[in-house]
Amino acid sequence: MFAITAILVSCDKSEKQDEEPAKVLESTDYSGALTVNASSGTFTTDSIKVSFTATEKTDSASITLFQVKFTPRMPVTLDVTVPGIVVTKTEKGAVLTCERVVPLAMGGEFPNYTVNGFEGEIVDDELTFSLNFGSTPTSYQGKAL
């Protein structure tokens, strides 16, 4: 009886390990300043919420920027998700990199604002990254909530 129980517990553990591999970093929400170098000039918006969401892969994540504008006169704000970010763990956090990727917004892919030149890192409780949304250079610096 003890042996059967031990086997079952062992199997259950190994299944859980298969389902939930250890993530490099846990999902975290940040709040900070978003700076956009638009053609009309540079503008910064404070208190922009960004969610860093670790995906099922150990070294993969997505970043969602909530209610952002890409020009000051834009009459709407958008939630934009940058998927496919590669997370490399460092001593104090992680380095974030990303190849050219189509962001997700408005219920699907949003090729007009294809992301390129993504560079970022998480150090302690601070997230910083820069990227180009299409041809619009954008940077972010925020602290964990």
Partner 1 sequence: MPGLHIPDYGASLTSTIYLRGMGSRMENPVMGLYIDGIPVIDKNAYDFDWEGITRITMLRGPQGTLYGRNSMGGILSLSTVSPADDSRPTVSMEYGTANTTRIGTHFSIGNHALSVIFRHTDGYFNNTYKNELTDPYDGISLRWKWERHTTERTTVSNILQTNLSKEGGFAYRLWQDSTLNPVSYNDEGSYRRLSVIEGLKFHHCGDAVKTDLVASLQLLSDDMHMDQDYTPKSVFTLQQKQLSSSGTVELTFRRADECALWQPQTGIFAFYRHNDLTAPVTFKRDGIETLILNNANCHIPEDIGYLTITDNTMPVNSDFVIDTWNTAIFHESVFDMDRWLLTAGIRLDYEGGIMDYDCMARLHYRFMPTMTQDKELTVPYKGSVSRNHFEVIPKLSLLYKATDVVTIYTTASKGYRAGGFNTQIFSDILQNLTMNAMMKDLGVYLDRQFVSVSADNTEYDPENAWNIELGTRLHKGSFSASASAYYMDVRNQQLTVFPPGMSTGRMMTNAGRSRSIGVETELGWNPERFRSHLSWSWCDARFVSYDDGNNDYSGNPLPYVPKHTLSVGAGYGFRLSDKTLDIDATFNGAGPFNWDETGARQEPFRLKAGCRIALVFQNWEIYVRGDNLTDVHGSSFYFKSIGNEFYASCKPRTIMIGTTFKL
- Where along the sequence are the contacts to partner 1 (CB under 8 A)? 66-67, 74-80, 105-110, 112
Q: How far is the CB of 143 from partner 1 (least distance, A)?
A: 23
Collapsed DSSP state (helix, strand, coil) of residue 102: coil
Residue 25: CB partners within 8 Å, gap ≥ 6?
52, 54, 61, 87, 89, 93, 94, 122
Q: Which one, 36 or 105, has the nearer CB to partner 1?
A: 105
Minimal distance, residue 4 CB to partner 1, in Å: 48
| Whether 16 contacts 124, CB under 8 Å | no
**Minimum CB distance to partner 1, residue 64 (Å):** 9
Nearer to partner 1, 94 or 105 (CB): 105
Work out how close the CB of 31 gets to partner 1 at its nearest, in angstroms, rounded to a whole number.
17
Please name the amino acid found at residue 2.
F
Nearer CB in complex with partner 1: 105/122:
105
**Closest to partner 1 by CB, 27 or 112:** 112
Residue 6 CB: number of other CB atoms within 10 A? 10
Residues 50 and 32: beta-carbon distance below 8 Å = yes
